[in-house]
A = this chain, B = another copy of it.
Amino acid sequence: MPTTLGYALLGLLARAPRTGYALTQALRAPIGYFWTASHSQVYPELARLEAAGLIRHRVVDGPGPRDTKSYRITATGRRALATWAAAPMPRPTERDELMLKVFSLWTAAPERAADLVTRQRAMHVERLAEYQRIDAEMRAASPAELRDPRTPEFSSYATLRRGISFEAHALTWCDWLLAQLGGTA
């Protein structure tokens, strides 16, 4: 059984063959919005996936001194991915450092607390705008595919909707907290 990162890589390779380098870049965006990894994690994981027969590579003579390896998913890999994707998950361990700060925010001066929340709010505004730009782009590019659950576009769009909903909720909460902090300061 691959690690979570392994399934992230399989998920990308199920859409198109790629090099380790291209996979690493995809792990910044769009996957980076909900999962990340650095190249130092990617290369060993690719070796493990290949040893397990879930992917194969072909050497494409590219630039640089090393082999440029193009990876593709195998039929076995594709089956493993589909099984994992729909398999039920235990409730994951939530880890939100901001909430941990908020839990102890009463020890700080309300003005300093408000500064923190204002910065967070700005990040959410920025991210929300980014998502909404992508939303418009996707709707324009492939309106039909977005409605068909068997297309990769549908999957991508579902994660995007989640992102938009999350940022909107976070933003609302920031505004509520700022009102609370301001009202008493």
Contact = CB atoms under 8 A, between A and B. Distances in A.
Contact of A155 (B34, B106, B176): B106
> What is the count of identical protomers in the complex?
2
Contacts of A88: 115-116, 119
Interface stretch (A16-24, A40-48, A142-150): A142-150
A185 interface: yes
Interface stretch (A4-12, A49-57, A58-66, A131-139): A4-12
A103 B11 contact: yes
A93 B36 contact: yes
Interface string A142-185: 00000111111011101101100110111011001100110111
Contacts of A148: 184
A60 to B, nearest CB: 25
Contacts of A184: 147-149
A107 B14 contact: yes
A94 B176 contact: no
Contacts of A181: 149
- 3 A-B pairs closest in CB distance: A34-B99, A86-B112, A11-B104
